[in-house]
Amino acid sequence: MSYAGKNLKYIRKQREWTQEEMANQLQIKRSLVGAYEEERAEPRLEVMETICAKFSISLEEFLFQDLALLSANDADSNGSNNSYMERRRALKSDKSISLASMVTFVPVKAAAGYLTGYADPEFLDELNTFTLPMLAPGDYRAFEILGDSMLPTPSGSVIVGEKVESFKEVKNSNTYIVVSNADGVVYKRIITNDDRAKEGNEHNENKLTLLSDNPLYEPYQVNATDIVEIWKAVYIIQKAGAQPMWNVDQLAGVVNNLQDQITSLKKKLN
């Protein structure tokens, strides 16, 4: 019997890595990590050699010994156990922490896998969590964003969002994390169809318009049926001293874009 898949999962969880992060470490696809851990496939020899070299274990140990059991036996002999799973169970059983205030954090490295794992309890359990004392009980999730499309919110910020259960709850021009099959995880303002109808634009109940705060980026539409989740932004977490980085070309583009918008508005008014 081979313990390769079980041991790979144990090693990954000991380091509190997602499958995406483990795949990056081994320079393989995330789907392969999942296949190995679920024992739908056996790791190739070169992959096992990489694992053994990186984590200082022998090939024999990786294939034929249960590393979790060995670790537990060592912990029992030393009178302590600080494994990942034990700490996770202790956290969940801590009555002083309200589960309603726990926020699951989705870093950029996990965003690619989030689209397929957003409803998978096992995938979500692999992600780190934190609490914010100012949050009322609810369903929250935090997403790390990259890029300059939402300046002045700088790249690397973490958006804490509250789950939106229905499109009817979406408020015009508010900011949201939108998870869709086409674009993955994006942070944008949503322009509701009612507002677009007032402006004389085509009214399409099957689409939502997403708008960037940076006027260099054009608004675009997504099909409502393509959206799997929407999270209303309630807090933005960023590093102290973080400032939006604008260069001369960007500023010139913003000015030109604003002038075009003013010209367009004047034409409509006339």
Domain final position from 74, 93, 112: 93
For the ranges 28-42, 87-101, 126-140, 175-189, the lowest mean pLDDT is seen at 87-101
For the ranges 102-116, 183-197, 234-248, the lowest mean pLDDT is seen at 234-248
The residue segments making up the domain with residue 89 are 4-93
Domain final position from 93, 122, 148: 93
Let me know whether 205 and 189 are in one domain: yes
Let me know whether 126 and 240 are in one domain: yes
pTM: 0.59
Let me know whether 74 and 169 are in one domain: no
Q: pLDDT > 90: what percent of the chain?
A: 38
- The reported pLDDT for the residue numbered 168 is 87
Q: What is the CATH number of the domain that holds 192?
A: 2.10.109.10
Q: What is the CATH number of the domain that holds 72?
A: 1.10.260.40
Cβ atoms of 244 and 251 within 8 Å: the answer is: no
Cβ atoms of 187 and 155 within 8 Å: the answer is: no
Let me know whether 128 and 81 are in one domain: no
For the ranges 6-10, 52-56, 263-267, the lowest mean pLDDT is seen at 263-267
Cβ atoms of 146 and 108 within 8 Å: the answer is: yes
Condensed to tens digits (0 to 9), the pLDDT of residues 157-183 reads: 999 999 999 888 999 999 999 999 989
- The reported pLDDT for the residue numbered 187 is 97
Let me know whether 61 and 109 are in one domain: no
Let me know whether 130 and 256 are in one domain: yes
The total of structural domains in the chain comes to: 2
Domain final position from 93, 128, 161: 93
Let me know whether 132 and 217 are in one domain: yes
Let me know whether 108 and 195 are in one domain: yes
Let me know whether 83 and 123 are in one domain: no
Let me know whether 134 and 228 are in one domain: yes
- Residue 29 or residue 206, greater confidence: 29
Let me know whether 110 and 166 are in one domain: yes
- The mean per-residue pLDDT over the stretch 184-198 comes to 76
Let me know whether 152 and 187 are in one domain: yes
- The mean per-residue pLDDT over the stretch 125-153 comes to 87
- The reported pLDDT for the residue numbered 70 is 75
